[in-house]
Amino acid sequence: MIQLHNVSLAYQQDASALNNINLKVGKGEFVFLTGPSGAGKTTLLRLLYGALTPTRGQVLIDGQNISRMTTFQIPHLRRSIGVVFQDFKLLQSRTVFENVAITLEVLGWGRADIGKKTMHMLKQMGIESKYNLITQRLSGGEQQRVALARALVNDPKILLADEPTGNLDDANKNQILAIFKEANVRGTTVVVATHDRRLIEHGHKRLITLNKGEIVEQMEKEENIDEYAF
Amino acid sequence: MYFLLRALANIRQNIFVNVVTIGTITLALLIVSLFLLVFVNLENAAENWSERVQVTVYFDRELTIQEQTMLRGKIKALPETSSVSYVSRDEALKRFKNRLRGQETLLEGVRPEVLPTSFEISLKRAHRDTQGVENFVASLKRVPGITEVQYGEEWVRRFNSFLNFMRLLGALLVGFLILAVVFIVSNTIKLTIYARRDEIEVMSLVGATSFFIKAPFLLEGLMQGLAGAIISICLLLGLYVGFLHNAGSFLTFNLVSSGLGFLPPEYIGGIILSGAILGFTGSLTSLKRFVNP
């Protein structure tokens, strides 16, 4: 589903953010991306949804080469990728419903279908009673769930999340993780960038550690989570 | 349809910003249209002034009725002629006396016979410029029986160069005004779009094509421009009805008593159209900066 071949990216000439990354993520996989701040986690995610193009190397999403895409193709790529941002990027002056519905409006759905699907999604997230509230009024955890609902409402092939549990309490973290797992079970490939150990310990399937723009460690893990000590 | 609803919803949700934008467009177009109003009226006044462009054919004797009708017919047959009137010796003396009112003693001993008779010819509008008058005089001189032709050469020349100067000045001023208006309006629109750049970003991140993102903004700009233009025309009409149309005597140097006219319909159409274009292109150029994949 996701393939990176010798990918390097430099924001400026001398300082490279990513260095010779090779990575393969199969369909239906659940991957954690970890590493210290500035390791290149966010940059890597941005490459995957076409916000950046690599300086060298190739990024393939579902067999399509992103660096060869035209400006008309990028939007279509993004429709199959749900993204949850570190800062949520919600529209603060719009309601919860409108924030989630925007994904479906872009796809050209009819109003009735949008209403149904959006409310269904909000119900799954447990925030259906807040559908008519301005997102500004919500707590951090609730905003996070709105962001998740927006990313998942069109059943994307890939879900990318950047520090999705940044400032949530444990109960919220577990709920968010459960939502990720559920999406994964339904066939969505999930990539979560985080340095939240608790999240990794509880949800860890495959772990990729980045440092200074390079992959320093890759770990596969089957069932017993507690054997890995962090 | 979706875009139209979206644009209307945007206007409703950002009512303050929209009022500011429409207000800016209104004021900007009001200034331009006020200027146009003055300019159009000055042009009209100049047209009226040009009635004074007159060509006179002199004769040193009284013409017989037959001669009068014959010559009058020949002059009228010239394409430039708008009207012809005969001034007899008695008439000429009367005018002379009028002009020297209070100093009639100077006219003692002046008998009508010393004064010339003449045809006074006024020209059609299109032929009142320097070149037109000269051509007309040349063809007049070819009419048998006409020898002496006079026209205020100097006056015609000066009047026409004054007119050209006025037009140039007006065009320059309108040009600068339009530049200023475009600059101010596009900056205002840029600010309103800047205030909503997060919306543009989110749309682009969930996979909206740039057309899909831009269309509501463009429609919004179009509606703002149209609203601004229509309001400014209404305000102008209000100003005009309120006090400008009485100020005719002041602006037209007492030459025409008919007062100031309002803008002709093609100008009004032009202002409304330019409002729409202003709003649309203002949005288009501002969007370029914020919509990128």
Does the pLDDT value for residue B154 go beyond 70? yes
Return the closest-CA partner of residue B207 out of A78, A85, A73. Answer: A78
Which of B104, B127, B150 delimits the end of a domain?
Answer: B127
* Mean pLDDT over the full length of chain B: 82
Q: Is residue B67 domain-shared with residue B91, that is, in the same domain?
A: yes
* Inside any domain, residue B16: yes
* Inside any domain, residue B134: no
Q: How many folded domains does chain B comprise?
A: 2
Averaged pLDDT for residues B96-121: 79
CATH of the domain at B72: 3.30.70.3040
* Inside any domain, residue B275: yes
Least confident range of A84-98, B5-19, B43-57, B113-127: B43-57
Q: Is residue B27 domain-shared with residue B121, that is, in the same domain?
A: no
Range(s) of the domain holding residue B243: 2-48+160-290
Averaged pLDDT for residues A211-216: 87
In order of start, what are the domains of chain A with their CATH numbers? 1-80+159-225 (3.40.50.300), 87-155 (no CATH)
Q: Is residue B112 domain-shared with residue B213, that is, in the same domain?
A: no
Nearest CA in chain A to B3: A105
Rounded CA separation A56/A19 (Å)? 9
CA distance B2 to chain A (A): 9
* Inside any domain, residue B147: no
- pLDDT at site B11: 82
Least confident range of A54-63, B68-77, B232-241: B68-77
Burial readout B236-255 (b: 16 or more C-beta within 10 A, e: otherwise): beeebeeebeeebeebbeee
Q: Is residue B180 domain-shared with residue B277, that is, in the same domain?
A: yes
Q: Is residue B42 domain-shared with residue B171, that is, in the same domain?
A: yes
* Inside any domain, residue B145: no
The complex scores an ipTM of 0.83
- pLDDT at site B245: 63
- pLDDT at site B292: 67
Whether B206 and A103 lie within 8 Å, measured CB to CB = yes
| Residue pair B192/B24 in contact by the 8 Å Cβ criterion | no
Facing residue for B13 by CB, picked from A81, A93, A107: A93
Q: Is residue B15 domain-shared with residue B78, that is, in the same domain?
A: no
Q: Is residue B285 domain-shared with residue B174, that is, in the same domain?
A: yes
* Inside any domain, residue B140: no
Q: Is residue B192 domain-shared with residue B261, that is, in the same domain?
A: yes
Whether B207 and A75 lie within 8 Å, measured CB to CB = yes
The helix/strand/coil state of A6 is strand
- For the ranges A84-98, A197-211, B72-86, the maximum mean pLDDT occurs at A84-98
Q: Which residue has the higher pLDDT, B137 or A29?
A: A29
Nearest CA in chain A to B207: A75
Compute φ and ψ for B82, nearest 5 degrees: -105, -40
Q: Is residue B243 domain-shared with residue B226, that is, in the same domain?
A: yes
Residue B223 burial (C-beta neighbours within 10 Å; 0-12, 13-18, 19+): buried
- pLDDT at site B27: 92
Return the closest-CA partner of residue B226 out of B6, B22, B1, B19. Answer: B22
User: Is residue A132 within 8 angstroms of chain B, CB to CB?
Assistant: no
Q: Is residue B173 domain-shared with residue B233, that is, in the same domain?
A: yes
| Residue pair B70/B205 in contact by the 8 Å Cβ criterion | no
Rounded CA separation B14/B216 (Å)? 13
Q: Is residue B183 domain-shared with residue B118, that is, in the same domain?
A: no
pTM, to two decimals: 0.71
Q: Is residue B185 domain-shared with residue B270, that is, in the same domain?
A: yes
Q: For residue A32, which amino acid is it? A: F
| Residue pair A66/A111 in contact by the 8 Å Cβ criterion | no
Q: Which residue has the higher pLDDT, B261 or A210?
A: A210
- For the ranges A210-214, B230-234, B249-253, the maximum mean pLDDT occurs at B230-234
* Inside any domain, residue B108: yes
For A165-178, how does the pLDDT look when each residue is reduced to its tens digit (9 = 90+)?
Answer: 877 788 888 888 88
Facing residue for B199 by CB, picked from A80, A91, A106: A91
Mutate to test the interface with A, among B206, B213, B287 (most CBs of A within 10 A): B206
Averaged pLDDT for residues A93-115: 91
